[in-house]
Amino acid sequence: MAPKSKPTIIDVARVAGVSVTTVSRVLNGGKYVSPDKLVAVQEAFDKLDYQPNLHARSLAGERAYMIGLLFDDPRGDYLSGMQRGTLLAGQKAGYHVLVELLGRTGTLAQMKRLISRVRLSGVILTPPVCDHTSLLNTLVRHNIPAVRISPSSDFPGIPSVKIDDYAAATEMTRHLITLGHRKIGFIIGDLEHADARERQRAFNDALAKAGVEARPEWVAEGGYQFSGGLTAARKILSQPDRPTAIFASNDDMAAAVIAVADEMGLRVPTDLSVTGFDDTSLASAVSPALTTIRQPVEQMAMKAVEILLERISGEKPEIETPVMMGTKFVRRGSTGPAPK
């Protein structure tokens, strides 16, 4: 069977016995359409199995029904989870998602090229591109609605969704203290990211508040990478007086700590407790599985889309403070009571 050419709005109009204008009105909310014609048009939609053409709509109107999802790199549990959330939420609202990679260099030029080539209803910005200031400025200047997920810095005029890193890291630190640990190490994430700084601040504050000593030689930077975590863990664990627990700022680095402990013949959690952060799939695949903090990655993205759609539809509640999403402490096998 020949792929019968797709029905257009004109066909619908003919079948429904109305003008294309009326059909268009039905398509866009049905305001100023009498009930009987409304029904007639909808019947025609069904009968013809009509789907409006996105390109024509974008060309002719204001709306685009397409949201841009901007990445530096889509790999990794964290980011692909965000993608899934975006896709799910966007799909539900009848939007399509255009994914674009914004390389390390020439980001701005790429963005400009993108928005002059395709009309986007709005964009979702994932880390780290959500912190590219001139990119954000460009978006504002072109009046393109945007929402940032887990941004590091503040930026007026663009809403954002994030988690409360401070609270979560506080909870995690308290967990270790409650288990009896008094010698606790810490592996810092990528200091470029505000969340890395927040987690560290919470750690320090929690120690101080509990009257637990914080030793600088038990702190090292791992850049959120497994490899960096390896180096950091080796540095910390090779101290003559070593900690009985290490709080790594993310799961990858926590896995690295476990690897190093293994290397050195330390048993986890008997000799050393280890904690992660994020609850990526790695957290449960490693043995022992990581005690960690679960981020509601997909929900964050869905929330971001929700906010974006509000912005698009003109309702601008002008939320300037980031929307905070709740995290969940997940206890697994990598933490245990402090050794005597």
Partner DNA sequence: ACATTCCCTGAAAGCGTTTTCATATGACGG
Partner DNA sequence: CCGTCATATGAAAACGCTTTCAGGGAATGT
State both tokens at 129.
Answer: 């591109």
Least spacing, CB of residue 312 vs DNA, in Å: 12
Q: What is the DSSP letter of 287?
A: S
141: partner contacted, choices its own copies, DNA, none (Cβ within 5-8 A by kind): its own copies
Binding positions for its own copies, 285-304, rule CB under 8 A: 285-289
Find the part of the chain contacting its own copies (CB under 8 A) among 38-46, 189-197, 213-221, 258-266: 258-266
List residues near DNA by CB under 7 A.
5-6, 8-10, 17-25, 27-28, 31-34, 36-37, 50-53, 56-57, 59-63
CA distance 83 to 200: 28
Least spacing, CB of residue 80 vs its own copies, in Å: 4
Among 29, 35, 36, 117, binds its own copies (CB under 8 A): 117
Contact 68, 106 (CB under 8 A): no
CA distance 141 to 92: 29
179: partner contacted, choices its own copies, DNA, none (Cβ within 5-8 A by kind): none
101: partner contacted, choices DNA, its own copies, none (Cβ within 5-8 A by kind): its own copies
Find the part of the chain contacting its own copies (CB under 8 A) among 36-44, 90-98, 234-242, 322-330: 90-98
| Three-class HEC string of 102-139 | CCCCCHHHHHHHHHHHCCCCEEEECCCHHHCHHHHHHH
CA distance 76 to 55: 32
Find the part of the chain contacting its own copies (CB under 8 A) among 93-101, 165-173, 195-203, 321-329: 93-101
Least spacing, CB of residue 39 vs its own copies, in Å: 22
Least spacing, CB of residue 124 vs its own copies, in Å: 12
CA distance 130 to 87: 18
Could you give the angle at which helices 20-27 and 35-48 cross, rounded to 10 degrees? Answer: 90
Given the complex with its own copies, which of 117 and 340 has the nearer CB atom? 117
Q: What is the DSSP letter of 163?
A: E
Given the complex with its own copies, which of 95 and 166 has the nearer CB atom? 95
Kindly write out the interface string for residues 182-221 of this chain, putting x where it contacts its own copies by CB under 8 A and - elsewhere: ----------------------------------------
24: partner contacted, choices its own copies, DNA, none (Cβ within 5-8 A by kind): DNA
Under rule CB under 8 A, residue 119 binds its own copies: yes
CA distance 286 to 307: 36
Residue 161: helix, strand or coil by DSSP? Answer: strand
Among 45, 70, 81, 129, binds its own copies (CB under 8 A): 81
Among 14, 27, 42, 52, binds its own copies (CB under 8 A): 52
Bin 306: left if φ > 0, else alpha if -120 < ψ < 50, else beta.
Answer: alpha
Least spacing, CB of residue 67 vs its own copies, in Å: 11
Given the complex with DNA, which of 35 and 240 has the nearer CB atom? 35
Rg of the chain over Cα atoms, rounded to whole angstroms, equals: 26
Q: Which residues contact 86 (CB under 8 A, 6 or more apart)?
A: 67, 69, 97, 124, 301, 302, 304, 305
Q: How far is CA 111 from CA 11, 45, 108, 132, 213, in A?
A: 38, 37, 5, 11, 48
**Binding residues for its own copies, per CB under 8 A?**
1, 3, 6, 49, 51-56, 58-59, 66, 69, 71, 73-77, 79-81, 83-84, 87-88, 91, 96-101, 113-114, 116-119, 141-143, 226, 252, 255-256, 258-259, 262-263, 281-282, 284-289
